[in-house]
Structure 1
Amino acid sequence: MRIAQILAAVALLGGVAVQATLWAEGGTPATVPEAGAGIPLAPAKAAAVTQPSAAGAWGGIRSGQEATLSDRVVDYKIEASLDPVKHTVDGKQRLTWRNRSNEPVRSVYVHLYLNAFQNAGSTFFTEQRKSGTGFRTGVDTKDGDWGYMELRRVQQGGANVPWTYVHPDGGPATDQTVVRMDLPQAVAPGGSTTLDINFFDQLPRVVARSGYFGTFHLVAQWFPKIGVLELPGERGATAVRWNAHEYHAQSEFYADFGAYDVKLTVPNAFTVGATGEQQGEPVEKDGKRTYHFMQGDVHDFAWTADSRTAKPLTSTWHGEGSPEVKITVLFPPEYASHAEPALKSTKDSLDYFSRTLGPYPYKTVTVVVPPYNANEAGGMEYPTFFTADNFGDVSPGTIGEAGLDFVTIHEFGHGYFYGILANNEFEEPMLDEGLNEYWDNRMLHAIGRKYYAASSLTRRLGFAPQVDFLHIERLGTPRDEPADPIGQNAYDRLQGVGPVYSRTALAMHDLEAQLGKEVLERSFKEFYRRWKFRHPSIADLRETLAEASGQRALVEKVFAQQVYSIERVDDRVAKFSSDELVPLPGIHLVNGKRAELTEDQAEEQADKQRKAWEKAHPDAKPGTGPFPYLTRVTVRRRGADVPQVLVVEFADGSKETVNWGGAERWHTFEWTKPVKAVSARIDPDNKNLLDVNKLDDSRTLKADGSAARRWTFDFAAIIQSLIALIATV
Structure 2
Amino acid sequence: MHIQARSTLRAVLAAALLAAGGAIAWLAQADAPPPVPTPSLDGIALAAPGAAAVTIPSAPAAWGGVRTGDHATLSDRVVSYRIEATLDPDKHLVKGRQALTWRNRSAVPVRSVYVHLYMNAFEGAGSTFFTEQRHRGEGFRSGVDIGDGEWGHILLSSVRQGAASVPWRFVQPDGGPATDHTVARFDLPEAVAPGASTTLDIDFTTQLPRVIARTGYFGSFHLVAQWFPKIAVLELPGERGATAPRWNAHEFHMESEFYADFGSYDVSLTVPKGYTVGATGELQGAPSEKNGMVTRRYVQHDVHDFAWTADKRSAPPLVETWTGPGSPTVTVQVLYPPEYEASAKPAMKAAKDSLTYFSRTLGPYPYRTLTVVIPPYNAEEAGGMEYPTFITASGHLDVAKNSLDEYMLEGVTIHEFGHGYFYGILASNEFEEPMLDEGLNEYWDGRMLRERGQQAHPMPAFFKRIGIDPVFDPFDITRATSPRDRPADAPGQNAWQRLQGIGPVYTRTALVMRDLEERIGREAMERGFKEYYRRWKFRHPSVADLREALADGSGERAAVEDVFAKQIYAVSRVDDRVATIESEEVLPLAGTRLENGKRIEETQAALDARIAKARKDWEKANPNAKEGSGPYPFRTQVTVRREGASVPQTLVVRFADGSSETVAWQGDEKWRTFSWVKPAKAVSAELDPRRSHYLDVNKLDDSRTLVADRSASTRWASDAMAFVQLLFSFIATV
Please give the per-residue CA displacement for 1:504-542, whole angstroms capped at 9, x wherever unaligned. 111001111111111110111111000000000000000
Corresponding position: 1:458 with 2:456: no
Instruction: Kindly report which structure 2 residues correspond to 1:11-90, keeping only aligned pairs within 5 A, or say none.
Output: 15=32, 36=41, 38-90=43-95
Deviation by residue 1:377-418 (Cα, 9 ceiling, x = unmatched): 110000000000123432111110110010000000000000
Q: Give the match for residue 475 of structure 1.
A: 480
Matched with 1:562 is: 567
In structure 2, distance between residues paired with 1:327 and 1:131: 39
The more displaced of 388-397 and 481-490 is 388-397
5 Å-filtered alignment, 1:363-402, equals: 363-402=368-407
Label 1:577 to 1:670 Cα distance change in 2 as closer, same or farther (>3 A): same
8 Å Cα contact 1:399-1:724 kept in structure 2: no
Instruction: Give a deviation string over 1:276-307, Cα, whole Å, max 9, x none.
Output: 11112211111111111000000000000101
Deviation at 1:14, TM superposition (A): 9.9
Give the counterpart of 2:622 among 599, 617, 621.
617
Among 287, 290, 313, the alignment partner of 1:282 is 287
Counterpart contact for 2:31–2:126, Cα < 8 Å: no
Q: Does the CA-based 8 Å contact 1:472-1:718 persist in structure 2? A: no
1:165 and 1:271 map into 2 onto residues whose CA distance is 36
The one of 507, 511, 516 equivalent to 2:516 is 511
Equivalent of 1:720, from 706, 722, 726? 726
Q: State the alpha-carbon separation in 2 of the partners of residues 507 and 465 from structure 1.
A: 26
The match for 1:105 is 110
Q: 2:272 aligns with which of 267, 271, 289?
A: 267
Which residue identity lines up with residue 712 of structure 2 in the other structure? S
Flag the 1:322–1:17 CA change in 2: closer, same or farther, 3 A.
same
Deviation at 1:144, TM superposition (A): 1.2
Q: Would the aligned equivalents of 1:403 and 1:726 in 2 still touch at CA under 8 Å?
A: no
Give the residue type in structure 1 aligned to 2:404.
I
Asked if the contact 1:358–1:525 (Cα under 8 Å) also holds between the matched residues in 2, the reply is yes
**Residue among 456, 476, 491 paired with 2:496:** 491
Native 8 Å contact 1:209 1:376 kept in 2: yes
Indicate if the aligned counterparts of 1:212 and 1:218 stay in contact, CA closer than 8 A: yes
The answer on whether the counterparts of 1:317 and 1:347 sit within 8 Å (CA) in structure 2 is: yes
- The SS at the match of 1:451 is coil
* Whole-angstrom distance in 2 between the partners of 1:14 and 1:633: 58
- Tell me the equivalent position of 1:298: 303
For residues 658 and 722 of structure 1, what CA distance do their matches in structure 2 show? 42
1:709 corresponding residue in structure 2: 715
1:161 matched residue in structure 2: 166
User: Structure 1, residues 552-597: CA drift from partner, whole Å, max 9, x if none?
Assistant: 1111000000011111111111111111111223333344443444
Return closer, same or farther for 1:249/1:34 CA change in 2, 3 Å cut-off: same
Does the Cα contact within 8 Å between 1:163 and 1:179 map onto a contact in 2? yes
| 1:644 has 2:646 as partner | no
What residue number does 2:587 align with?
Answer: 582
Change (3 A) 1:383 1:35: closer
Amino acid at match of 2:361: T
Q: Taking structure 1 as reference, are residues 596 and 461 closer, same or farther at Cα in structure 2, changes over 3 Å only?
A: same
Q: Distance in 2 between matches of 1:460 and 1:430?
A: 41
Q: Which has the higher contact order (CA 8 A, sep 6+)?
A: 2
Whether 1:416 aligns to 2:408 is no
The one-letter amino acid of 2:116's match is: H
State the AA in 2 paired with 1:280. G
Structure 1 letter corresponding to 2:60? A
Structure 2 residue 679 is the aligned partner of structure 1 residue 679: no
For each residue in 1:488-511, what CA deviation from the matched residue of structure 2 results, as whole angstroms up to 9, or x when unmatched?
001100000100101111100111
- Partner-residue secondary structure (3-state), 2:46: coil
How far is the alpha carbon of 1:548 from its aligned partner? 1.5
CA contact (8 A) 2:32 2:177 kept: no
Kindly indicate whether the alpha-carbon contact (under 8 Å) linking 2:210 and 2:216 is maintained by their aligned counterparts in 1: yes
Conservation of the 8 A alpha-carbon contact between 1:52 and 1:235: yes
Q: Structure 1, residues 618-673: CA drift from partner, whole Å, max 9, x if none?
A: 11111111110101111111111111111111112111111111021111110100
Please tell me whether the aligned partners of residues 498 and 727 of structure 1 are also in contact (alpha carbons under 8 angstroms).
no
Partner of residue 448, structure 1: 453
Q: 2: distance between equivalents of 1:722 and 1:587?
A: 70
Conservation of the 8 A alpha-carbon contact between 1:157 and 1:195: yes
Alpha-carbon distance change, 576 to 590 in structure 1, aligned in 2, over 3 angstroms: same
Structural RMSD (CA):
1.9
Partner secondary structure for residue 341 of structure 2: helix
Q: Provide the secondary structure at the position in 2 that maps to 1:343.
A: helix
- In the alignment, the residues of structure 2 paired with residue 519 and residue 350 of structure 1 have an alpha-carbon distance, to the nearest angstrom, of 22
Q: Does 1:689 align with 2:694?
A: yes
1:718 offset after TM fit, Å?
4.6
Change (3 A) 1:348 1:19: farther
The TM-score with structure 2 as length reference comes to 0.93
Question: In structure 1, what residue type is equivalent to 2:392?
Answer: T
CA contact (8 A) 1:19 1:173 kept: no
Indicate whether 1:355 and 2:383 are aligned.
no
Of 332, 340, 350, 2:345 maps to 340
Q: Is the 8 A contact 1:48 1:487 kept in 2?
A: yes
- SS in structure 1 of the partner of residue 45 of structure 2: coil
Q: Does 1:669 align with 2:685?
A: no
1:500 paired residue number: 505
The 1-side partners of 2:606 and 2:396 are apart by: 75
Q: Check the 8 A contact 1:19/1:166 in 2, yes or no.
A: no
Overall identity of the aligned pairs, in %:
63
Segment drifting more, 136-145 vs 363-372: 136-145
Is the 1:37–1:182 Cα contact (8 Å) retained in structure 2? no
1:217-249 deviation digits (Å, cap 9, x = unpaired): 100000000000000000000000000100000
Deviation, structure 1 residue 726: 13
2:188 counterpart of 1:200? no
Contact 2:224 2:308 in 1 (8 A): yes
How far, CA to CA, are the matches of 2:463 and 2:375 in structure 1? 27
What SS does the aligned partner of 2:424 have?
A: helix
1:174 to 179, 189, 194: 179
Aligned length: 705
Assess, with a 3 A threshold, how the Cα gap between structure 1 residues 505 and 718 changes in structure 2: closer, same or farther: farther
CA contact (8 A) 1:18 1:174 kept: no
- Maintained 8 Å contact 2:583/2:636: yes
Amino acid at match of 1:643: P
Q: Deviations over 1:182-202 (max 9, x none)?
A: 000000000000000000011
Amino acid corresponding to residue 701 of structure 2 in structure 1: D
Deviations 1:66-117 (A, max 9, x none): 1110000000000101111111101110000000000100000000000001
2:221 match: 216
Distance 1:592 1:527, change over 3 A: same
Tell me which of 581, 591, 599 is aligned to 1:594: 599
Bigger shift: residues 139-148 or 587-596: 587-596
Q: 1:647 and 1:261 mapped to 2: Cα distance?
A: 62
Match of 2:10 in 1: none
1:467 is paired with a residue whose SS is coil
| Aligned CA distance change for structure 1 residues 642 and 720 (closer, same or farther; 3 Å) | same
2: CA distance, partners of 1:259 / 1:333: 34
- The question of whether the paired residues in 1 share the 8 Å contact of 2:340 and 2:376 is answered with yes
- Assess if the C-alpha contact under 8 Å between 2:459 and 2:725 holds in 1: no
Aligned-pair CA distance for 1:616: 2.1
Q: Which residue of 2 aligns with 1:573?
A: 578
Q: Kindly tell me: are residues 182 and 554 of structure 1, through their superposed partners in 2, closer, same or farther at Cα, counting changes over 3 Å?
A: same
Output the CA distance in 2 between the equivalents of 1:500 and 1:17: 29
Distance 2:605 2:317 in 1: 88
Shift of 1:458: 3.0
Q: 1:93 to 1:727 in 2, by over 3 A?
A: farther
CA offset at residue 475 of structure 1? Answer: 0.9
